[in-house]
Amino acid sequence: MNIIEALFLLLLLIILSAFVSCSELALASARKIKLQVMSKEGGDVRALDVLNMQQQPGSFITVVQIGLNAVAILAGIVGEAAIRPYFERIFAGNSSWGSTLASLLTFAVVTCSFILFADLMPKRFAMTNPEAVAVRVVRPMIFMIFILKPFVWFFDGLANAIFKMLHISTIRQEQLTSEDIYAVVDAGAQAGVLKQQEHYLIENIFDMQERTVTSTMSTREYIAYFDKNDSAEKILEAMSEKPHNKFLVCDGDLERVIGYIESHTLLTLFIKEKEIRLTDKSVLRKALFIPDTLTLYDVLENFKTSGEDFAVVVNEYALVVGVVTLKDVMSIVMGELVNNEEEPQIIRRTKDTWLVDGATPLEDLIRVLDIGEFPHSENYETIAGFMMYSLRKIPKRTDFLIYGGYKFEIIDTENLKIDQLLVSKQEDTTQ
């Protein structure tokens, strides 16, 4: 074999090795979601072949290893047989070390050629778009598996037997978790694929599965309600002072809710008949009761099932703790993207100080202050709850604590409730 034939044979071996290396990385790293999209929306049946191969990867891994090892051995034989004598003739005048130098040069040329053209470049190419490469190489790889079936059966069966003895599963599990989705969304935002508003909305939607209804409801002390025997004058006076869209109707006290009324329906009835009977079936609507342990996502499902957009929240003792509307729930999703006439719960005073309402949910404060998490957060949901839990007492004005590089100081209370806090960032004194 002359030098031209040897180089041509090495070129063919490099091409074969490059194909096998490229196939190995592409088939292993192709993402399941993109392959499913290519199959369903693009109609590419080759994507299904890739998915099937990923479920049972033993066959193609066996073919890859057989191909790479066989090509590497054959390349060494060709280099030693055809290229080494060529280098020996060049160093013929140095009989003492010419043979050794010829072997080293042959090894360096063959090895470097395979590293660059048969391994590094093909794998980098496959990494740039693994799904597109995978669907193009899967059919040739299936053909190679068929040709090398006896070897595949032997080596793959032997490997499976060893894995079985060691109780190791060889089936690829690709379960998508919420953490994976968070990571993908964050990566999309950093890459500019998602706009800031889209990123914000997606994060809030996931928060709905973590936050309970108590984080967004109107608490008990802010509930406006009527007694079923209230006079028309008292009702109209209360409606003028508290212009809500809906009011609870109770039989004596808040623990005996018999339904709710809508203000526009009530006013329409008053204009027509000049009389208001809160127990009239034309104005009194049946109230939806939900437990305070529901997540916001569960609340949405309840609204969807019942056709209501207003619910009364009760605790485990059947005591009314608040009311929640569809608007309250959706405000968590839309957040600052919608106009809100109410004063925001978190107001930034200076670069490093914030005024925070005591009823502010922890999730909102974590997002603003960039705090990882609050300790034992399963025991409370608001910043007021955090202060009470951490101080181990009913807090009063000027009480404070420092956590996560921030000072949380109570500046206003109402009865026993924390009304407002001043949060200030502490300077790093560790330097």
Give pLDDT, residue 278. Answer: 83
Give pLDDT, residue 303. Answer: 92
Give pLDDT, residue 324. Answer: 93
Q: CA 167, 171, 173: angle at the middle one, nearest 5?
A: 115
The proportion of the chain whose per-residue pLDDT surpasses 70, expressed as a percent, equals 89
User: pLDDT for 143-179, tens place per residue?
Assistant: 888 888 888 888 888 888 888 888 887 666 656 666 6
Would you say 38 and 44 are in contact if contact means Cβ atoms under 8 Å apart?
Answer: yes
β-pair partners for 410: 421
Sign of torsion, CA 374 376 378 382?
Answer: negative
Could you give all domains of the chain from N- to C-terminal order, each with its CATH number?
Answer: 3-166 (no CATH), 178-208 (no CATH), 212-327 (3.10.580.10), 346-425 (3.30.465.10)
With 80 as the cut, is the pLDDT of residue 199 above it?
A: no
Cβ neighbour number for residue 250 with a 10 Å cutoff: 21
Given the structure tokens 């050794």, which residue do they identify? 100
